Amino acid sequence: MMPLRVIAGTAKGRRLKLVPGSTTRPIMDRVKEALFSIIGRDILYSHFLDLFAGTGSVGIEALSRGADRALLVDLDRQAIKTIHENLAIAQVADRAVVRQADALALLRRPPDDAYDFIYVAPPQYQNLWQATLRAIDANPAWLTQDTVVIVQLDPQEQTDIDLTHLAPYDQRRYGKTLLWFFETKTPPESAAEEQP
């Protein structure tokens, strides 16, 4: 397996640890690079939520590139230990909160904050991406008016999903990895106000 590293920003080039004995699938560098290319300068000063964080690589990349704050969530104890170690390696721990929790249970609770970006990369082939999107959609307190939710999945897992507060607007495929982008829908009253 390729070494995991921070691609750009204040922690550029730092090598991150993998979760020992884990079946987590760290995001490939080219996919991570493409993701943050798409996000661009919007990452600056943002609040970033990394669900099913695994090594913490995506949340750490966000912090390295200028996000103000990141919440990294994983249920696995070894993953949580690795995330703490990787935050220390990247020297961004002061802007991160790490929570050992079931993502779906967490999303049902009132959030401490709304997030500009929510990254969803659950274990594959368990329909967890759908359950996670529905949980976010059912509790819009996690969302700002401009939240972008990014789902990482195998293209074979992709199916239509009907949501109230989120709408798909872009997707990019990199081999066996698909990044699917959702944005917050404009509330009907705001859309009506914009009509001449």
Query: Which pLDDT tens digit goes with each residue over 84-119?
Result: 999 999 999 999 999 999 999 999 999 999 999 999
| Digit-coded pLDDT (tens) for 35-82 | 999 999 999 999 999 999 999 999 999 999 999 999 999 999 999 999
Higher pLDDT: 178 or 187? It is: 178
Q: Which of 47, 188, 137 is nearest to 129 (CA)?
A: 137
Nearest partner of 22 among 56, 46, 45, judged by Cα: 56
Residue 24 is predicted with a pLDDT of 64
Give residue for tokens 């696995």. Answer: 76
Q: Are 35 and 150 in contact (CB under 8 A)?
A: yes
Which CATH code for domain 4-194? 3.40.50.150
Sign of CA dihedral 63, 65, 67, 73: negative
**How far apart are the C-alpha atoms of 72 and 86, rounded to whole Å?**
12
| Chain centre distance of CA 94 | 19
145: exposed, middle or buried (Cβ count in 10 Å: 0-12, 13-18, 19+): exposed
pLDDT at position 14: 97
Does residue 100 sit in helix, strand or coil? Answer: strand
